[in-house]
Each structure stands twice: as C-alpha cells, then as structure tokens.
Structure 1
C-alpha cells in the first residue's frame, strides 16, 4: 500500500516528516494489514514495524467513534507505552482519534475513569490491562484490532499468559504480532485464535 493511498491527513503528516515511500518490510505488510488479515510480522529492528502499526491503525479508524476502544496494543513497559503514544500523537494530527496509555506506574482508578470517558486506541502493558479488565474498567466488545509491539518481551515472565487471556474475552478481531523472531510459543496462538494468520518475514 503506497503512502498516496492513505487518508489525506495521514498522508500529509508522513510527507511532512520526509517519508515518501514505504520501507521494504512495510511494502510487504501494509496492504495485508489493510485487507484485515491477521499476521505474525517478523523483521529486524529498524524495519519500520512500529510506524506500520501507527499508520495502519490510523488508516483503519480514521476518526473517533463512541466510547469503547477499537484497537488494543500490548507493549513491554511504561517507556514503550509512552513512546508509542507519542508516535500516535504525531501521526494522528488532523484527526480526532483518542489514544490512551495504561501502565503500572499510575493510579488504576484514575486509569479506569479516563478510559471510561472514551478512547479509540488503548496502549497497555499486559499486567495493567488485565487488572483494569478484571475490575470491569474497559469494554473490549468493540475491538477491531489487537496488536503486540516488539512481542519478544512476552517470552519472559507471565506476559505470554496475560496476553493469551485477552482473546478469550473478545469476539472476531484482527491480530497483529510484531517481533524480531518467530518464537515456538506463537504456535499455540496459531492453534487457537490465530489459526488463519499469515507469517510474513522480512526479505533478506
């Protein structure tokens, strides 16, 4: 999907930042994401994975709608959440899309209230998202996309199990897993909620 096919506000922002053509890996995956396919997107760092997330989500949602989030993005920690939130804030200029970052180092009651007031995109650490959901602080019934950024962090600790719980609570959804490598644990997801997902690896 060339950048010229993006919504005008997003296209203008990308061009203003000096990007005129997708990177090689972005050319492989952007059109697939736009088609609604679930993907394991495997590529080394600096391949444009995070920018692909931001572009694809904004292109899909276009504008704010109702109160429940339509996109959920899992990230490693607070720093990753804030960095991704900032990236969205840069690229969503000209739209009214609402982005919210939820992480452990913040009062959970305040987070529940702020999410309840309405957001389109929630960026969250797995542990905090599960706590908020357990407390009935987030409605996942309207999700269209569930994404994991830099999924290699899931292999340590309980993160993998925490993310695996989420599909049990939502209906039909597009799943996008971005990682530098395909881990054997991902095969469990292929056997359940990602059984029809494509594996797209960066061309060497």
Structure 2
C-alpha cells in the first residue's frame, strides 16, 4: 500500500510497531475501509484484516475530541482485546490519542470513568460495551468508526442481541465495518437482520 493513502503523522507513528506486516495487510482492504462505506469483509484468520482496521482507525482518529470516543473495535476474545490494546499503545502515544481497554475482567465503574474523562479509541468485547451503553457510560454520537472483529465468533457465542442493539444505535454518519473469518449462514442472517446498506467483500486467500 502506498504511503500516499496515509496521513504523514500516521506513517511516522506506525514506525513504532512492525510496519511491514501492516502495510502488506492493507494492500487489498485499506481502500475499502477508507471509502467510508458500511462493509462486511470476509477473509481468513491470517489475512491481516484486523491490522488493516487498526491502520484505518489511526488514519481517521488522530486528533483529540474530549469526552466522546471516535472509534470502537469489538472482538470476541478478551485476550485478543488485551493483545490489540497493547499492540497499539506505542502508536497512540506517538499520535497523542487515548485508547481504553473495556472488557468483562475490568472494573466497570473505573472503565466508565475513564471513558467519561475522554478517549478516542475503545477496544473491548460486546458484553461489557453493551452494559456500559445501557448505563449511558458510552456516547455513540461522535463515533466515526464502529468495527466488529471476529464477527463469526461473536455470533457463535450468542452476541447477536448486543451487537444488533449497538449497531442500531449508531448515527447515520458512523461507518460500520464487520470483519469475519468465514461467511456462513449465521453471518448472512445477521447482516440481513440489520436492514442497512452493507457492501460485502470476500477474500479467499491470505493477503
């Protein structure tokens, strides 16, 4: 992927983590997400779609807007959420943006306070994010990106209701990006239930 598609400050910040893998992963998918359209991306586990989504977040969320998150990335596994949060920490420091880790193992009151204090990026799991949303602990009004990673795994773990409610609460200006490892019947039924325009991109091979 050409660096011309990334903001200069993001290119510089990405040098704090292994940039080669991110660049390779972004070749086929970055432009799709950057278009701003709602999209479902179906690609194998090793395709790099998650890291591409992270690059897209940084390319859009690189300035502070106090009191409201600009991007939320949900993943089925608490362990993966922790790993992603740790991975992006150096980039966040370089760009002077805040990323909060929000999942079931954390203290919900502290998490709500952290979000209230102001954060640009939230990484977490559907259950805790939904709980905080119901408690008015998360404001979705200024979101630019709402990303669900491992959608197929989330659906297999019966997170349909939480995800659907959160997605239906998004503003029309918020871009929805769904990432799935397989495009199966559960995924098909779920996206049909959303009743929103959604482009579908399927990749059969790793990037």
Gapped regions of structure 1 (runs ≥ 5)? none
- Pair 98,182 (structure 1): closer, same or farther in 2 beyond 3 Å: same
Alpha-carbon distance between aligned partners in 2 of 1:168 and 1:180, rounded to the nearest angstrom: 23
Gapped regions of structure 2 (runs ≥ 5)? none
Write out per-residue CA displacement over residues 28-62 of structure 1, whole angstroms, 9 at most, x where no aligned residue.
22112111011111111221112101100000112
Alpha-carbon distance between aligned partners in 1 of 2:15 and 2:117, rounded to the nearest angstrom: 33
Per the TM alignment, residue 97 of structure 1 is displaced from its structure 2 partner at its CA by: 1.3
User: Is 1:201 aligned to 2:202, yes or no?
Assistant: yes
Provide the residue aligned with 1:145 in structure 2: 145
Alpha-carbon distance between aligned partners in 2 of 1:149 and 1:167, rounded to the nearest angstrom: 14
Q: Residues 66 and 117 of structure 2 are in contact (CA less than 8 Å); yes or no, is this contact kept in structure 1? A: no
Q: Residues 99 and 119 of structure 2 are in contact (CA less than 8 Å); yes or no, is this contact kept in structure 1? A: yes
Per the TM alignment, residue 113 of structure 1 is displaced from its structure 2 partner at its CA by: 0.8
User: Is 1:181 aligned to 2:171, yes or no?
Assistant: no
Provide the residue aligned with 1:95 in structure 2: 95
Q: Residues 10 and 92 of structure 1 are in contact (CA less than 8 Å); yes or no, is this contact kept in structure 2? A: no
Task: Give the alignment's Cα RMSD to 1 decimal.
Answer: 2.2
SS at match of 1:19: helix
SS at match of 1:62: coil
**If the length of structure 1 is used for normalisation, what is the TM-score?**
0.88
SS at match of 1:185: helix
Write out per-residue CA displacement over residues 47-94 of structure 1, whole angstroms, 9 at most, x where no aligned residue.
111210110000011221121011111111321111111222133342
- Poorly superposed stretches of 4+, deviation over 6 Å: none
Write out per-residue CA displacement over residues 170-191 of structure 1, whole angstroms, 9 at most, x where no aligned residue.
2112111111111323334544
Per the TM alignment, residue 106 of structure 1 is displaced from its structure 2 partner at its CA by: 1.5
User: Is 1:157 aligned to 2:163, yes or no?
Assistant: no
Provide the residue aligned with 1:6 in structure 2: 6
Q: How many residues align?
A: 203
Provide the residue aligned with 2:84 in structure 1: 84
**If the length of structure 2 is used for normalisation, what is the TM-score?**
0.87
- Pair 114,40 (structure 1): closer, same or farther in 2 beyond 3 Å: same
SS at match of 1:177: strand
SS at match of 1:37: coil
Per the TM alignment, residue 15 of structure 1 is displaced from its structure 2 partner at its CA by: 4.9
SS at match of 2:41: strand
The structure in which a higher percent of residues are helix is 2
Provide the residue aligned with 1:105 in structure 2: 105
Alpha-carbon distance between aligned partners in 1 of 2:64 and 2:204, rounded to the nearest angstrom: 36
